[in-house]
Structure 1
Amino acid sequence: MTARTQRTRLIAAGVAAASLSLALTACSSSSTDEGGGAPNATATVSEVKVDDKLAALVPADVKSSGKIIVGSDASYAPNEFKDDSGKIIGMDIDLANAIAARLGLKADVQDSQFTAIIPGIQSNKFQLGMSSLTDNKEREQVVDMVTYFNAGSAIAVKKGNPDKISADDLCGKKVAVQTGTTQAQEIVDVRNPACAQAGKPGVVNDGDKFDLQTDVTNAVVSGRDQAMMADSPVIDYAVKQSGGQLEKIGTTYDSAPYGIALAKGAALAPAVQGAVQSLIDDGTYKQILTKWGVEAGALDKSTLNGAVS
């Protein structure tokens, strides 16, 4: 990506300028803050059958290859990550497989650095990008986006919150974030200016940045950092998988839809959007989200380039 890529939409700058308390409000419901049920990677999902009408929308070159090449940063559990054998799994991966199956194809999911996914689409290395990418107007200038999930930002600390950190005041704290995410940019553009305005020191070093989300989580568990910021399903999953070592503070905030990225004007886009909607309609989509404990982020309707900001 030639510009910084954001996983979730930034808090409105006006809100941050008005107060150091960043108006951390919940997403659509209290269930969003709980992140859904416990994930079960071994749960089965109904077999996905080909939809002939949707398959007819697939461009000839893709159809002849028999596959869709998907770029994904496999460090962002439960959305995309590697199991003990090194296989890429997760909510996005199951959805990619289901979309491909609906279109009579196979999904070839390839691990990629997060910041290399959209450039990979632009260079035709990937046909889809499925990696917790938020659909926003800035991104729609360079790729097309098919919405499929709703997420926000959240914060976690060590269990018991030993440093008594408040979600609306991270001034002077050591905060771990993944490079290239909105949370990393939020510290620079929103949080630290608000700290300066309040006469407080900013988040140390504009955040402790890591290439992999797994390293972000480990930084808090190990005590290197005092807090971590990430997408809400990632925080919820990390807390559930930490064996009681982490807890979420505050509420999920700044909710926005994820989008599947495709090359601008890609002929494949209508087929992908139609496949997502058909999976929503027949219940397969909900099965996948429930499997990964993220059903609170379910959408009723998939749109193509539907960002409002």
Structure 2
Amino acid sequence: MRTTLRRSLVAGTAIAALALSACGSASPTTNAAPGSESTIPTKVSGKLTIGTDLTYPPYDTLENGKPAGFDVEFMDAVAAKMGVATNYVDTRFAQIIAGIKADRYDAIASTLYVSAPRAKEVDFVPYFQTGNSIISRADGTEYVSPGDLCGKSVGVVTATVIVGIMTKEESDRCKAEGKGAITVKEFPTDPEATQALLSNQVDAQMTDGAVAKVAVEKTKGRLKLTSTSLIYPIAVGIGVKKGDAPMHGAITDAIKSMQEDGSYDELLAKYNLEPVDPAVLKASMERK
């Protein structure tokens, strides 16, 4: 595990770098209590309204009917620093960017991978980095790397960055090696992709490493993680509406305050996550 100082310095550098470039059906649920009074205009007075897909544990989920998970804990802490409560709007991932463009919420916190196309639609505040893992059936072929998936079908969540990677970069590589392209089957949620794998509708599933771990544990031995390292390390960002400098600045300042008081490092450590490395952020911003 990296030291606390290293984690904060890396994250602070990445957030500062991106800050310079930033000048579905739903039912909202409130979580955090407000702290000091905020001067930042929000959709709902005294509340930071956040779009998140609550079908993505351990990042975004419902526990006893209430929003929970890493993004929820993180945004509760951000909102507290801003002096407001949180108001979560459960939105399926494929519609989540459209929602902020339609002014349904103030920010997106839903494990939104940073990419060049998305950076044209929202302004990002990077807050951690992750990668992907491959899930295979325990009684079937073990797929370790994307190259093993040539000629196979893979379940992924609709509108995710890996859809483009698998259908273009990886499939082109497969064909260049004389192998079949990867057949990418998209699903609205990860649980649906996992169910498709269990019912033999796809050969494998690719999803975020932390999500994959939880999915495998829930199947009690029917599935297993077969990739040996995180695939496609990528920066993850909180999304705000393009040009919303006050909101972007307020969230950036809140995260900096979390880094200073140690709560940022504690929360990332709890979920075994890492701060954004500037090199990973740069590569993510250049990804098509």
Query: Is the Cα–Cα contact under 8 Å of residues 152 and 256 in structure 1 kept in the other structure?
Result: yes
> Aligned residues: percent identity?
28
- Per the TM alignment, residue 272 of structure 1 is displaced from its structure 2 partner at its CA by 0.5
Aligned-partner Cα distance in 2 for 1:213–1:64: 30
RMSD of equivalent CA atoms: 2.8
Aligned-partner Cα distance in 1 for 2:261–2:48: 22
- Per the TM alignment, residue 172 of structure 1 is displaced from its structure 2 partner at its CA by 2.0
Aligned-partner Cα distance in 1 for 2:152–2:134: 13
- Per the TM alignment, residue 79 of structure 1 is displaced from its structure 2 partner at its CA by 0.8
The DSSP-based 3-state class of the residue aligned with 1:97 is helix
- Structure 2, unaligned runs of 5 or more: 3-31
Residue identity opposite 1:69 in structure 2: T
Residue identity opposite 1:165 in structure 2: Y
Aligned-partner Cα distance in 1 for 2:176–2:157: 25
- Per the TM alignment, residue 208 of structure 1 is displaced from its structure 2 partner at its CA by 2.0
Aligned-partner Cα distance in 2 for 1:122–1:191: 31
Residue 132 (1) aligns with residue 103 (2): no
Residue 87 (1) aligns with residue 66 (2): yes
Residue 163 (1) aligns with residue 141 (2): yes
CA gap 1:306/1:93 in 2 versus in 1, 3 angstroms = farther
Query: Is the Cα–Cα contact under 8 Å of residues 42 and 49 in structure 2 kept in the other structure?
Result: no
Aligned-partner Cα distance in 2 for 1:164–1:242: 17
CA gap 1:190/1:262 in 2 versus in 1, 3 angstroms = same
- Per the TM alignment, residue 264 of structure 1 is displaced from its structure 2 partner at its CA by 1.6
Query: Is the Cα–Cα contact under 8 Å of residues 135 and 305 in structure 1 kept in the other structure?
Result: no
Q: 1:47-196 residue pairs with structure 2 within 5 A? A: 50=35, 58-59=39-40, 61-62=41-42, 65-83=45-63, 85-159=64-138, 162-167=140-145, 168-196=147-175
Among candidates 194, 197, 217, match of residue 220 of structure 1 = 197
CA gap 1:305/1:163 in 2 versus in 1, 3 angstroms = closer
Q: 1:287-306 residue pairs with structure 2 within 5 A? A: 287-291=266-270, 294-299=271-276
- Indicate the structure whose relative CO is greater, using CA pairs within 8 Å and at least 6 residues apart: 1
- Per the TM alignment, residue 48 of structure 1 is displaced from its structure 2 partner at its CA by 9.2
Could you say which residue in structure 2 is the equivalent of 1:276?
Answer: 255
Query: For 1:37-68, what per-residue CA distance to the aligned partner results, in whole angstroms no more than 9, with x for missing partners?
Result: xxxxxxxxxx9994x6xx65x42x33980001
Aligned-partner Cα distance in 2 for 1:184–1:174: 12
TM-score (norm 2): 0.77
- Per the TM alignment, residue 164 of structure 1 is displaced from its structure 2 partner at its CA by 3.8
- Per the TM alignment, residue 107 of structure 1 is displaced from its structure 2 partner at its CA by 0.8
TM-score (norm 1): 0.72
- Per the TM alignment, residue 280 of structure 1 is displaced from its structure 2 partner at its CA by 2.7
Query: Is the Cα–Cα contact under 8 Å of residues 130 and 259 in structure 1 kept in the other structure?
Result: yes
- Per the TM alignment, residue 297 of structure 1 is displaced from its structure 2 partner at its CA by 2.4
Aligned-partner Cα distance in 2 for 1:137–1:165: 29
Could you say which residue in structure 1 is the equivalent of 2:217?
Answer: 240
Residue identity opposite 1:265 in structure 2: G
The DSSP-based 3-state class of the residue aligned with 2:221 is coil
The DSSP-based 3-state class of the residue aligned with 1:217 is helix
The DSSP-based 3-state class of the residue aligned with 2:236 is strand
Could you say which residue in structure 1 is the equivalent of 2:241?
Answer: 263
Could you say which residue in structure 2 is the equivalent of 1:33?
Answer: none
Residue identity opposite 2:76 in structure 1: N
Residue 249 (1) aligns with residue 229 (2): no
Query: For 1:64-86, what per-residue CA distance to the aligned partner results, in whole angstroms no more than 9, with x for missing partners?
Result: 80001100111111111223x33
Query: For 1:163-216, what per-residue CA distance to the aligned partner results, in whole angstroms no more than 9, with x for missing partners?
Result: 24342220222211111112222221122222222222222xx32211111111
Query: For 1:83-108, what per-residue CA distance to the aligned partner results, in whole angstroms no more than 9, with x for missing partners?
Result: 3x333211001111111111110110
- Counting matched residue pairs gives 251
Residue identity opposite 2:111 in structure 1: S
- Which structure carries more helix by proportion? 2
